[in-house]
Amino acid sequence: MKTWTLAALLLAGVAATVAPPVLAQPAPPAARPWMNAQVDPDQRTKLLLSQMTFDEKVALLHGAMAMPFGPFKLPSGAIGSAGFIPGNARLGIPALQESDASLGVTNPMMVRGPGDMSTALPSSLALAATFDPAIAYEGGRVVGSEARAKTINVQLAGGVDLARDPRNGRNFEYAGEDPLLAGLIAGESIRGIQSTGVISTAKHYALNDQEHNRNTVDSIIGEAAARESDLLAFQIAIERGQPGSIMCSYNLVNGVYACQHDWLINRVLKGDWGYKGFVMSDWGAVHSLDALMGGLDQQSGEQLDAKVWFDEPLKDAVKAGKIPAARVDDAAGRVLRAMFAAGLFDRTDKPADIDFAAHADVAQHEAEDGIVLLQNRNAILPLAASAKRIVVIGGHADAGVPSGTGSSQVTNPYRKEAMLPIASVPIGGEGMMAAFSNVVFHPSAPLTALRSHLKGAQVSFDTGLYPDSAAAAARNADVAIVFVYQPSGEGDDVPSIDLPMGQNALVEAVAAANPNTIVVVESGNPVALPWADKVGAIVEAWYGGARGGEAIARVLTGEVNPSGRLPMTWPMSEKQLPRPDIPGWAAGPTDRVPVDYNIEGSDVGYRWYARKRETPRYWFGHGLSYTSFAYDKLVVRGGKALEAEVTVTNTGDKAGKDVVQLYLTGRPGGAVRRLVAFQKVSLAPGESRRVRLAGDLRLVADFDAARRRWVIPAGTFSLAIGKDAGSVSLTAQTTLAAATMKP
Ligand code: BGC
């Protein structure tokens, strides 16, 4: 069989067809005792498995892409989305209708027709920048309820790979560089999705930290380093969110493909963490039947693999005694258990209406809380009422806000309420990857929003295509606001942290013409800011989602006091990174590319800078406000747990939100830097609050691979409150008892 790449199939698309939704048929519990919702999921699974034939069990273990492409038709019964596992009418098992992803319910190739709309949330990196798990939960509820309204019952969400490289094309789908922050944000987002009765994944398990050569990249890392970083992020996300499924990744880990990695899946995930759900493959990530014994339960997007291993080859292997039938029972049981636990068997609802207005409010709130004020010289922001002539320049700010590309992209063809065409900018030309890598601009134009918020000012627009004319426009204005953007997405990394498309020259020209220059960056990653000293303010607005433009306008005008904090450290240049060059940049598409993550080990991001005594441009946790905050009276309690209390005061004259960040700075054996707890608090001018923080002990421990335990050495631990990971201001010490903890 031909091996299809995802890009090729998206291009090879044929006319979309829309099939009617398929709902599970309720049946009398007497005939089908597993249909009794009062019985617990484990018991229901046992009851159902006992009635299934071998072939019926195997049918649950593989499924196709749910899109028509090339020779493949839309599978019968699929409503059209990323993936589909047929149901079983005899036993009342509903089909799995699987859709991407964390930022909204996608409609790939418009497979469900052009009228199928979804709310586009800001990027997950923007969400992580809120430092607010409650916002993650709310966003999850939006995605889950829209999925449910469309009769999709599995959402391929919960991206939690750590941002080890600020050029990773998919960092926008993940939640930053810190295991605690990423784990909590992804976990709450998963919990929100599942609260609507939809299964969510956590993905891509594991160490899928580079997109370039993602199918052949080999993440080389020691056990302790992996457990203390990327795996800890997954562990926290799974504890919080209890996802029904885990999606394993394309890459290899220490020489073994992640989707057939006995140690990662059987030993760590299902063994040490006691995970009861099922493991599904990424689309095209299965290389042999060995994956089944390696722990993979379900082969997804099976047309993309060289063989549908989990169908006939699996049946033959069981018949030949090469694979125990019990393993098939285990895999099928895991799929069923996740379905029972999420309530998929108990649904009788029909497609519902979506409250787009309410969901857009959630998207806007998330965008507003995630915007990070990076620099604000002479308090140039918020925009002063005296600014009467304002020029907005560049970044398609007249059209909307950009989004990350790839499978997670919500590509609504028009805005329902206004029927506006959506702007779509191809990156990398119109060749192979074009369909997969168009930068879609969600039609929430910052220019329109600024005009409506600044009634007393004249707000003009310059495309920014020609630096000279942009500079001329800036010269005649009181304030110039330059929008710069960085396209990024699935399938490849950005080759450098520099802004593309001559945008640095644009900012330089505008800043030279007008000292009152404000730069709004819309990016999927940190970018170099070589002109930072020449401009007044810099605002990071990420990929802002359905109401991104409105959120930006409200922050610039001061209606919203910015409270986002960086979930990733911003380097001065690539020279500061553990790997200044992207590994394998020149390698061929099938070349094996080892990436040595032992260089930084578990010291990802700010921990690396602290260890190397390097000063980045901005540390993890950095973010300014229109007010100011002060901390005092830090008390830390040790013993068998770790707790801290600190008083935070809003010392300015505006209401605002602060993120109180508690870092470990020293422990027996030397200095370290690790975020151990954080909390976002909202304070009126002059208000003080005593904030209690409970530290996760795994964050102050080391993982001892030989003993397979977390180990806390007895002794003195130093903790500090920091405005960011680099500027810790208030320190206290405590002693902890020696302890070990299960992995
Ligand atoms: C991506 C996954 C996605 C899947 C299905 C893959 O290319 O890596 O994140 O869920 O496609 O669309």
**Tens digits of residue pLDDT in 403-424:** 999 999 998 765 444 444 556 6
Tell me the CA–centroid distance for residue 524 and ligand 1, in Å: 18
d(CA 144, CA 105): 8
- 201 Cβ below 6 A of ligand 1: no
Tell me the CA–centroid distance for residue 490 and ligand 1, in Å: 9
- 6 Cβ below 6 A of ligand 1: yes
Return phi, psi of residue 405, to 5°.
Answer: -100, 165
Reported residue count of the chain is 743
- H-type alpha helices, 150-266: 179-194, 223-228, 230-241, 262
Tell me the CA–centroid distance for residue 497 and ligand 1, in Å: 25
d(CA 158, CA 204): 9
Q: What is the Cβ-side half-sphere exposure of residue 390, based on CA atoms within 13 angstroms?
A: 25
Strand segments, DSSP code E, in 123-177 are 154-155
- 407 Cβ below 6 A of ligand 1: yes
Neighbouring-strand partners of residue 484: 521
Contact between 130 and 532 (Cβ < 8 Å): no
pTM greater than 0.75 (yes/no): yes
Give the model's pLDDT for residue 466: 97
For residue 431, with 0-12 CB atoms within 10 Å meaning exposed, 13-18 middle and 19 or more buried, which class applies? exposed
Ligand 1 atom nearest to CA at 100: 10
Give the model's pLDDT for residue 487: 93
Contact between 208 and 151 (Cβ < 8 Å): no
Mutual angle of helices 503-513 and 467-475, in 10-degree steps: 30
Give the model's pLDDT for residue 69: 81
Output the six-digit token pair for 324: 């125990």
- 282 Cβ below 6 A of ligand 1: yes
- 283 Cβ below 6 A of ligand 1: yes
- H-type alpha helices, 582-739: 606-612
Give the model's pLDDT for residue 21: 46
Q: Please name the residues in contact with 302: beta carbons below 8 A apart, sequence gap of 6 or more.
A: 62, 63, 64, 65, 286, 308, 310, 311
Pairing relationship of beta strands 96-99 and 83-85 according to DSSP bridges? antiparallel
Return phi, psi of residue 341, to 5°.
Answer: -60, -35
Contact between 503 and 484 (Cβ < 8 Å): yes
Give the model's pLDDT for residue 440: 85
- 278 Cβ below 6 A of ligand 1: no
Which residues in the chain show pLDDT less than 70?
Answer: 1-29, 413-437
